[in-house]
Structures are given as structure tokens and as C-alpha cells.
Amino acid sequence: MNKIIFKRKLYDRMLQWKTSKQGSTALLIRGARRVGKSTIAEEFARSEYESYLKIDFSNASPETAELFNDISNLNMFFFRLQAMFNVKLIERQSVIIFDEVQLLPKARQAIKHLVADGRYDYIETGSLLSIKRNVQNIVIPSEETRVNLYPLDYEEFMWALGKEVTFSFIQEAFSNMRALSDVVNRKIMRDFRLYMIVGGMPQAVCKYLETNNLKEVDEVKREILELYDDDFHKIDSTGKASLIFNAIPGELNRNTSRYEVGNVIEGARQDRMLETIGNLADSMAVNIAYHANDPSVGLALHKDIGKYKMYLADTGLFVTLAFIDRDYTSNTLYAKLLNDKLSADLGYVYENVVAQLLRASGNELFYYTFPTENNNHYYEVDFLLSHKEKICPIEVKSSGYKTHTSLDAFCSKYSSRVQSKYLLYTKDLKKDMDLLLLPVYMAELL
């Protein structure tokens, strides 16, 4: 079967770069392993240029790597490159792709001079780009336009399923704050629960479309998780990064106000794990929501780097990781999600997918906790967004929605700072005075 090429939103951003920059910068596509960076780079090159040359540094020959030891004579550099790859490059009509560029830091450093030369366009793809060994002894080029590629969001998933019209209807309902109807919402929620199970990793979506078999999809996701585990052991030989990653479902299930590394690694302290957490964030296999110590505009100015919650960047992987020690048939999350029987104690799955969709829409993730009036408990707002001059608190519910104590307490305490308040849940869109209750699949529209 031919490889399925999915429609991705990043493609339009890449077109904008090509038109506006006219070769004055390279395009750097960052993303986790297996999110489709190489695929979209090559599809773009094939469609938008007369010719292209792709260097995959994960399997480049020693002779190819050696080219970057000396680029003082660019005429000779390009001559040898074209001869080695049997590709004719055309001035201002060709692009050169540096795939997995983090594996040859010298190639990334060369971008400064290659861009200045101006003959061709350049697209770089990479993951783990800021890990020390990948930037050691090189000058990181400033001539890069950096973009992020995430797993397919829900709209892209619907495109893959051939349901573009459905999401247009969702957007229209959101724009006009109009209910879709219970019947339509139930139908869309069935698709959304399928999205939560399959996830947005292109290989998993492809396997679902090819086989319609969730067992085979689960096998693909397990392979991706094994790949991530191998990567984490490479960047952290102590194994701590791997332990922290694999414990994400368990930590969310504990329903505490932060990720406690001491629960995962005996004797570990938050302040001594900052580099490891930073490496995990750089992998883009996780999404990290930081606590905002002052919930106001400019949330990044008030983030507490030692207090955070961690999510998987892909909820399909999250569902598999939660039951990684069991066979596919024992994954009760699959059955409960498909049949809309998810209990309140499994609500963290919805929290993970909201984090995924908010991040894919370009939002940084923040949350907020504060003590109750008698100081024996904490209120928690799941997510905070900064819109215009105010903030928007978000609460995520997987079941009941009639009580939203934390959200109410927050809006009472910080009423002058709140623009809109949202409760994301599984029912149809409705308003409850000044509270907007939105179906969870609208999270990426916020």
C-alpha cells in the first residue's frame, strides 16, 4: 500500500516562510520522533520546488558527513553534493533538506554560511535539538525560522478520516457560541473518543485507516514508546528521564497538584532534576504545564519551574503507556473510552488530550492552585490561557459538570483579571450565566 500523506496545518506556515523569507533563513522543523517531520519536509520540497536534495543524517555515509568539515569553497561543496546524490540543484528553485540535523551539529552550524550564499533554500528537521551534545562546540545559527510540528490535532485527524465538513461545522458553532444538538454532539464525541485512543502519531493513524484494527494500532504505539525509551536512555544514562516519562500516567492518576519526582525516583529532589525535565521538554514527547505563581497576563513571567504537571504529547500514546505492562486486551481504557464509560477517576485522560490540543494550537501551558478558605485543601484550575489583557481559566470534566468549585473560587478571587471562563466536558455547548461549557473537542479553538 502506498504511504498515506496526511494534510497538515504546518504546510501553510511553510508556504508563508518560502514566500516571505525568499531564502534569507532556513526553516527548522522541530518535533518529537515520529510526528512526521521528514514526511512533511519532503512532501513540501517535492511540491513547491523544481528539485530537492535530502540528506538524512541518521544514515548518512561518512563521505557525506565529511563534506561539512570544510565549506570554505561552496562551489566545490555543491558540486560534490550533487554528484553524490545524483540531483541537479537549480539556483533559487531548489531546496536542500537536512533531516535529523541534530545528529551532525556541524551541518546545522553550516546553515549560517549556506543561507548567506543564497543559492538554495534549506529545511532542517530535528528532535532533541538543545541537548548538550547536539550543540556542543558549535555556533547555533540565528538564520533559522523555527516552527513546531505536533501529533495530528483533532481537526487534522478528522481530515484524515475524510470528515472535513464536520470540523467546519464545529468551528461555526464555536464562533457563534451555538449548540450543535445532543445528537450531533454524541456523534462527534464518538469520533473524538476514537481520536483519544488512536492518537495523532501519523503511523498509528495510518495503521488505523489501513486495518481498522485497534490491536494493530496499539502495536504501532508500543513501538513508538520503545523508541522514545531508547532515546531517553541515550540522553540520560542514569535512566531517570525514562522513569519520569513512564510514570506520567501514574502521577496524573494520583491527582496531586504537581509531578512529584520523589515518588518516582527515591531521594530525587525537584531542584536537582531540572536538567532532566528540560531534556524531556526538549524531546517534545511531553507537554509540561507550569504553575503560575501569579495568575495574570504574562504568565511566563510567573511560572514556577520547580512546580509542574506533565502530560504525554500524544494522548493515544498516553492510553497505551498507562497499560504498557499488559496485553492490548487488558487495556480497559480502550473499552471504556469507546463505550463512553470512563469513570471520574480516569478523567486525567481528558486532561491529557486538552493539554495536547492547547499546545498544538500554540498555547504555552500553565495551571494554578490556591488554598481553600480553611487551608485544609487546595483549589486547582487545570489550565490558564492569556488572551489580550486578561486571562481565561479552564476546568476539564470527564463526567459531571454541575459543580465547578475551583473555577468559581478562582473567578471570585481574581474577577478583575478574568476575560472568559470555560468548562470543557463531554456534552453540547451551552452557557451557564457567564460560564461557557464547551464540548472537549473545541479545546483547540480556544
Quick one: pLDDT at residue 48?
A: 98
Residue environment code for 230-257, b if the CB has 16+ CB neighbours within 10 A, otherwise e: ebbeebbeeebbbbbbbbbbebbeeeeb
Quick one: pLDDT at residue 374?
A: 81
Q: Where in the chain is the domain with CATH 3.40.50.300?
A: 10-148
Check residue 26 and give left, alpha or beta (phi > 0: left; psi -120 to 50: alpha): beta
Q: Are 344 and 350 in contact (CB under 8 A)?
A: no
Quick one: pLDDT at residue 235?
A: 84
Q: Are 210 and 274 in contact (CB under 8 A)?
A: no
Quick one: pLDDT at residue 345?
A: 62
Nearest alpha carbon to residue 15 among 145, 188, 118: 145
Quick one: pLDDT at residue 347?
A: 80
Quick one: pLDDT at residue 362?
A: 95
DSSP states of 237-282 as a string? Answer: TTSHHHHHHHTHHHHHHTT-SS--HHHHSTT--GGGSHHHHHHHHH
Quick one: pLDDT at residue 408?
A: 94
Please give the CATH superfamily to which domain 10-148 belongs: P-loop containing nucleotide triphosphate hydrolases (3.40.50.300)
Quick one: pLDDT at residue 344?
A: 60
Nearest alpha carbon to residue 225 among 152, 310, 149, 313: 313
The C-alpha cell of 412 is what? 471570585
- Specify the 3-state DSSP secondary structure of 197: helix
CA distance 281 to 130: 10
Quick one: pLDDT at residue 125?
A: 96
From first to last of its 446 residues, the chain has per-residue pLDDT tens of 467 899 999 999 999 999 999 999 999 999 999 999 999 999 999 999 999 999 999 999 999 999 999 999 999 999 999 999 999 999 999 999 999 999 999 999 999 999 999 999 999 999 887 666 667 777 888 999 999 999 999 999 999 999 999 999 999 999 999 999 999 999 999 999 999 999 999 999 999 999 999 999 999 999 999 999 999 998 888 899 999 999 999 999 888 889 999 889 988 888 788 889 999 999 999 999 999 999 998 899 999 999 999 999 999 999 999 888 888 767 777 777 777 776 666 789 999 999 999 999 999 999 999 998 887 788 999 999 998 889 999 999 987 678 899 999 999 999 999 999 999 999 999 999 999 999 999 999 99
